[in-house]
Amino acid sequence: MNRSLLKIIDNWVPENSKVIDLGCGDGSLITELSKSKNIIGYGVEVNAEKIASCIANGVSVVQEDIDDGVETFNGMGFDLSVMASSIQCLRNPNLALENMLNMSKKTIVTLPNFGYWKCRLGLLKGSMPITDNLPKTWYETNNLHLCTIKDFENLCTDMGFTIEKKRYLDIKSKESFFAKLFPNLFAAEGVYLLSK
């Protein structure tokens, strides 16, 4: 996770909160938030190698497939759930969002924007796009449900979620003028703080 994105997430995480990171990878976000915000953090990951990294880094992690639900953590009263650049890899992203907001008061979601101009240009040229945020070819990627900024925000509205905060980042993970003005076209990534 790059520094700009980490800073945004860090600013949205309350001090001394209880946080669950779904699709936590090697646990680096939980590790960073533990240092900067003194959180109690838990991770959920499906990849065995990444779980081994979490354990090596001292991160409490459970091996579960988010698409199957995260029953292990029901009723644990999390302040915040996080899903960074993983929602597009799920079979049922809408159900995952619902589950996240059932297990925590708020959730942070980051996602690549398939409406980004470089993605559109790739499609105009007749190929699935390859960008910094979507670096793999269509047959190698884990992405199942690519969406645009507008698609995601419409999903949140349809599901009755409140978008409390949002940031639109360009390809350099900066909040540029154009990404703010026309996020569906110029933002490479969206970052959201949601609640019910």
117-152 pLDDT per residue, tens = 998 998 999 988 888 777 888 888 787 888 999 999
Distances (CA, A) of 170 to 119, 174, 193: 13, 5, 18
Structure tokens belonging to residue 77: 């009263």
- Chain centroid to Cα 186, Å, comes to 19
pLDDT value, residue 107: 97
Contacts of 134 (CB under 8 A, 6+ apart): 112, 114, 119, 141, 143, 146
Q: Which domains does the chain have, with CATH numbers?
A: 3-195 (3.40.50.150)
Closest CA to 156 of 78, 165, 84: 165
**Whether residue 74 has pLDDT greater than 90:** no
- The percentage of residues in the chain with a pLDDT greater than 70, rounded to a whole number, is 100
